[in-house]
Amino acid sequence: MAERIPAEERLMNLVVALVATEIGLTKQQILDSVSGYRQRAGARSDALDKMFERDKDDLRALGVPLETIPSSTDPNDLRDARYRIPKSEYHLPEDISFSPSELAVLSLAGEVWSSGSLSAEARSGLRKIRALGIDVDEPILGFAPRLTAHEPAFAPLQSAIEASRVVTFAYLKPGEERARRRRLAPLALVEYEGRWHVYGRDLDADADRTFLLSRITGDVETTAETFDRSAREGAGERALSGLEEVAARQRALVEVTPGSEGALRLLRRAEPAVQGYRVPYVDRHIFADELASYGPEVRVVEPADLREAVIERLRAVAALHEGEAR
């Protein structure tokens, strides 16, 4: 009877084999040569295939940068694809070192995010840090808060970015009655002013676009179409730069009640003006929602379209409560 290799040992053997190769190994080469698979050569092929797929998912969930190199003849046929783990991405650079306190802070930062919201790059970084070991006499914090992204579109978009896959989704713009289908090569997910955006190449418009996740309706569908992963380089910085440019062009003049919640939240990103404060914003509709939520604590002086949008929302709330009082 073939020797049964524990799953954790099989995963370690797979990592060693994939780090050791420069050109990558095909699935068949892995099943034939890596300890943990070759002992089960007599097993059904579909069972081995499922084991290998689970192992790939487990490695990526642990932050191991497993890379898939598609076949040059047919990129969609994974039977001839090669797999490898680039050494440069698996190990920390030799010129980087951390003190025990720095390691503890970095590890804590990784723990704050729920695993479902961590990107592959973040998981990889956390795995490298943990591999160094953390020697801290006492915990630096008695508890770790948990952060996650609540938009349903976040997880599938993150997965598509990591796999360099084109996605499609329905997107509803303000003022439009129907959502329009978008086909996007997603390059980065960025948070700006407390809201998540996806930045990428709109393939139908042949232009770079930024979409607000909260306006995506329905499911994000990942297609078999791929794009060059090098396009992701610097995408997050480009996305944030674009959002900052829009905000710089749009500044609302508001008056705020001192010491109120509105003052606490708005003045962190505002500049004093002769009459009140100037607050930059990206999206008029979303900013109007925020300002209306402060009620009488905030008054919009200009621009007029933003002031009217806030008044419209306040009137709608007042009408709703009048109906409830009857």
Q: What is the pLDDT of residues 76-93, one digit of tens each?
A: 666 778 888 887 666 555
Instruction: Give the per-residue pLDDT at 152.
Output: 84
Determine, yes or no, domain membership for 244: no
On whether both 129 and 158 belong to a single domain, the answer is no
On whether both 216 and 284 belong to a single domain, the answer is no
Return phi, psi of residue 257, to 5°: -70, 120
On whether both 191 and 259 belong to a single domain, the answer is no
Mean pLDDT over 101-112 rounds to: 58
Choice between 258 and 130, residue whose per-residue pLDDT is larger:
258
On whether both 14 and 73 belong to a single domain, the answer is yes
pTM over 0.85, yes/no: no
46-59 confidence digits (pLDDT tens)? 788 888 888 888 78
227-248 confidence digits (pLDDT tens)? 998 888 889 899 999 999 999 8
Measure Cα distances from 178 to 152, 219, 271, 318 in Å. Answer: 20, 16, 37, 28
Return phi, psi of residue 208, to 5°: -75, 135
Instruction: Give the per-residue pLDDT at 55.
Output: 86
Instruction: Give the per-residue pLDDT at 153.
Output: 87
Instruction: Supply the range of the domain harboring residue 186.
Output: 154-236
Q: In a 10 Å sphere around its CB, with 0-12 CB exposed, 13-18 middle and 19+ buried, how is residue 145 labelled? A: exposed
Instruction: Give the per-residue pLDDT at 142.
Output: 43
Determine, yes or no, domain membership for 242: no
Question: Which range (23-32, 179-188, 237-246) has the least confidence?
Answer: 23-32
Instruction: Give the per-residue pLDDT at 70.
Output: 81
Asked whether the beta carbons of 196 and 147 are under 8 A apart, the reply is no
On average, the pLDDT of the chain sits at: 80
Determine, yes or no, domain membership for 145: no
Strands 67-69 and 82-84: antiparallel
118-133 confidence digits (pLDDT tens)? 555 555 555 554 544 4
- How many domains are there within the chain? 4
Determine, yes or no, domain membership for 287: yes
The CATH number linked to 216 is 2.30.30
